[in-house]
Structures are given as structure tokens and as C-alpha cells.
Amino acid sequence: MYPDDIGALISFIGLLTQTGGALLLVGLFTALLRSHPRRQPYFREWTRAWIWLLAALCGVLAQYTVLPMLDAGPVAIRGANLLYQAGKLLFVVHLVCGTLNYVMGVRPARVLRHAVPAVVAYAVLTSVLPGVLLNGVMLLQAPLVAGPFALCAWLLLRLPPSRATLGSRATGAVFGMIATLWTGYAAAFATDGLPALTPPAGPLDFLLQYNSYFDLLLQVVLGYGMVVVLLEDAKREADDARAQLSLAHDRLQRVSLYDALTGALNRRAYEDGVGLEAVGARFGTAMMLDMDNLKSVNDAHGHAAGDELLRRLADTVRGGVRPTDRVYRWGGDEFLVLFPAALPADVVPRVRAALEAANAAVAGQGGAPLELQVSIGAAGFDGAEEIDGAILRADRAMYEEKARNRRITVPMHRIIA
């Protein structure tokens, strides 16, 4: 086999390989586009680009296989050139559209409206020119390929740090390499047939002979860089969805564990152990508070006034305790307060003082203030195992106080150690 025949065979195998690679990329991109929950416009344009590249390679393949077997004339050859020229340029146009959409949000239709007619007209014109065959076609299209690829590289590589990702940087770098490669193709095709400029086995001759392999390598890397861009977008969307789900979960948890009216923890929160980590680790005090005048306030002034009184009681208690103490709305007009590392004889006077101060502040505003009339019971515990028992003893003490009708603005209290 002569060296020229070997070179032709190598080029033909490269063309077949490149066509197969383009077919695989079309299949991969189509599958990803169909399976992605949000069909990103930029990825849709990139998918269409690979389809047009496959059509262009089929046009070149037809010139090497089908047309010679059919002994086709110049018209058929120019038709294959037209398919190659139009397909390759539409490949470039859709790549640019996808990149512009990804980087700047430009709608593809705005570019395609002007680019597609220009590409078709250019392809038809260059394909019917006398004496322009495949090498001439490639020479004519080289600047139209290298320029847009350089533009895509520039757009992706200049993204701000907050948007610069592995996928965008890799894709931009490959765009730049393809632009450089096509600049080399332009030089090689322009000097093809000039031994002084393209010596046998020289770099330009080597570039022409193995151009299909170079194209295949860079196209595969480009394709997978684009896939990484899509996967990065999908990951960002998934992370955002998880963050939103976490916020929704926190809101639901707050609704389920906090009393909507007073903002205090509710009884379910106590049963789930919320806020008991520090309380149960040491001795402490359980205090039960019951508002004695809630029913009379509701009957005389309406439930809105009663709700306001409950909020004031919760705010007053929270304002008079430490950050480590826990306030629960136990049910209705009853509240539970847990004091870690505190004795009943210390915490009850503190709560009484807070209630007295709250009533004094309201009385100073004039009019007919609604007082906080509260019964209190308190009991101590030595550890987490005794909290439930302390709550029962404090509750009993609080009801004993109510039964004795000692309902003053801030009632007397009974302490059970």
C-alpha cells in the first residue's frame, strides 16, 4: 500500500470515528435534555448544535463513500458540500446561542432569527461557486468557525468568580483550543499543495491528515464540559430545593413546637424533650402559673383582650427569667417554667417581682387596666427523672392556692421542696 493510500485510510478512519463520536454526543445530550426536570435553553441549543454537526459529518462521509460508489457528478458533490457547510455553520451558531444564553441570558431566538438565514445563504453561495470543493469549503468556513469559538471562550472564561465553575472554565478552555485548532486548519488548507509551505510529514501536513482525530478529541472534551455545566446547574437547583425544604421544615417545626399566640414552647415541645437538655442535667425548679382572671376578662372585654393578657403574661415571665430557663404554654391559661440550677425559694420571688412590675407599668397608663391575676405553684427536682413529678407537685400546689381564693394581683404562692 502506497503512503498516500495509508494517509487516505487514516483520514477515512478518523472521519468514521469522529462521526461515531458525534452520534454518541447527540444521544447523550438528547437523553440528558429529556430527563432534566427543567430543560435549560442553553443546553437545548447545545444539543441542537451536536445534531447539526452530525449532519455535517454525514455530508463529508457521503463524499468519501456513497458518492464515489454511485459515480456521482458535480451536482451531488456540491450538494454534499452544502450539507457540510450549512451543518457545520449551524453547529457553530447553536453553540454561540447556547453560550450567550448561559452567560448573559440572551434568548436564542433573537440570534437565530438573523443567523440562520445568513448561514444558509452563505452555505449555498460557497457551495455553488465553481471550483470550490471540500478543501475550499473548509478554508472558507475556517474564520467563521474560529471567531465564534473564540467568542464563546472569552464569554465563559470572563465569568465573575461567583459563577466561574469547573464546567464553565473547562468548556471555555476547550472553546479556545478549538478556535486555535481551526486557525491552524485555515493555514494548512491555504497552503495545501505548496511543498515549500506544507512539506510531507510537516506540521501542517500532519494537521490535515489527522484533523478528524483532533476534532474528535476536542469535541468529546467539549461535550463533557457542557454536561458538567448542566450537572452543576442541576446541583445548584437541588441545593436550593433542599434549602427551601429545610426552611419549610423549620417553619413547620416551629408551628408544631411553639404556641402561635404567645410564642412560648408548647406541651408537645416538652414531650419531645425540646429545651430539656440543660434543664435535666442539674437540679432545678418546676413552676406552674395559672391566670385566674382570664374567663372574666373574656366575658367582659372579649377574647381579643384575653389573648392580649395571655401574651402579656408570657412576655412578662420570659422577661423575668434567665436565657437558660424554659417557658411552656401548658394548656389554656396555664404555663410551665423550668429553672435549671435554681431553688424554688429563689425563683418564685423573682417571678412575683416581674408580675408586680408589669401590673404597675400598666396601671401607670391610666384608664381601667387589665391586671395579671396569677396563681403560682413551685416544686424542686434533683434531675431529669424527677421533672414530671415536680410538675405534678407544682400543679397541685397551684390549684390549692386557687382553691383558697387567694387571687390578688400577684397572689401568694406555696412552695413544695
| pLDDT bucket at 149, cuts 50 / 70 / 90 | very high
The stretch 94-108 carries a mean pLDDT of 94
In the numeric block, the cell 468548556 is attached to 171
| pLDDT bucket at 2, cuts 50 / 70 / 90 | very low
Judge contact between 215 and 54, C-beta under 8 A: no
Bigger pLDDT: 38 or 395?
395
Alpha-carbon span 233 to 168, nearest angstrom: 11
Give the pLDDT confidence of 254-287 residue by residue, as tens digits. 788 999 899 999 999 999 888 888 787 889 999 9
Judge contact between 330 and 288, C-beta under 8 A: yes
The stretch 160-181 carries a mean pLDDT of 93
CA distances (Å), 176 to each of 29, 310, 383, in order? 22, 69, 70
Amino acid at 188: A
User: Chain centroid to CA 211: how far?
Assistant: 40
Per-residue pLDDT at 189 exceeds 50 = yes
Per-residue confidence (pLDDT) for residue 409, from 0 to 100: 43
- Provide the percentage of residues in the chain whose pLDDT is more than 70: 82
Cell of 73: 457528478
- Return the ∠ at Cα 362 (arms to 407 and 367), rounded to 5°: 100
Alpha-carbon span 392 to 416, nearest angstrom: 11
Residue 70 has, within 13 A of its CA and on its CB side, a CA count of: 12
Per DSSP, the residues of 144-161 read HHHHHHHHHHHHHHT--T
Q: Which of 128, 45, 131, 116 is nearest to 86 (CA)?
A: 116
Helix H or strand E segment including 174: helix 166-191
Per-residue pLDDT at 135 exceeds 90 = no
Residue 87 has, within 13 A of its CA and on its CB side, a CA count of: 18
Residue 212 has φ and ψ, to the nearest 5°, of: -65, -40
Per-residue pLDDT at 313 exceeds 70 = yes
How far apart are the two ends of the chain, measured CA to CA in Å? 108
Helix (H, G, I), strand (E, B) or coil at 197: coil
- Provide the percentage of residues in the chain whose pLDDT is more than 90: 47
Per-residue confidence (pLDDT) for residue 179, from 0 to 100: 93
DSSP-assigned beta bridge partners for residue 331: 334
| pLDDT bucket at 241, cuts 50 / 70 / 90 | confident
Alpha-carbon span 114 to 97, nearest angstrom: 12
Residue 334 has φ and ψ, to the nearest 5°, of: -105, 140
Per-residue pLDDT at 413 exceeds 60 = no
In the numeric block, the cell 510537516 is attached to 202
Residue 100 has φ and ψ, to the nearest 5°, of: -60, -40
Give the pLDDT confidence of 318-336 residue by residue, as tens digits. 999 998 899 999 999 999 9
Helices 108-128 and 74-104, packing angle to 10 deg: 160
Alpha-carbon span 100 to 105, nearest angstrom: 6
Per DSSP, the residues of 19-87 read HHHHHHHHHHHHHHHHHSSS--HHHHHHHHHHHHHHHHHHHHHHHHTHHHHHT--HHHHHHHHHHHHHH
The stretch 389-407 carries a mean pLDDT of 85
The stretch 27-39 carries a mean pLDDT of 84
User: Could you tell me where the beta strands, DSSP code E, fall in 241-350?
Assistant: 265-266, 284-291, 326-331, 334-340
What is the average pLDDT value for the chain, to the nearest integer?
Answer: 84
Per-residue pLDDT at 411 exceeds 80 = no
Q: Sketch out the chain's domains with CATH numbers.
A: 3-245 (1.20.1070), 265-416 (3.30.70.270)
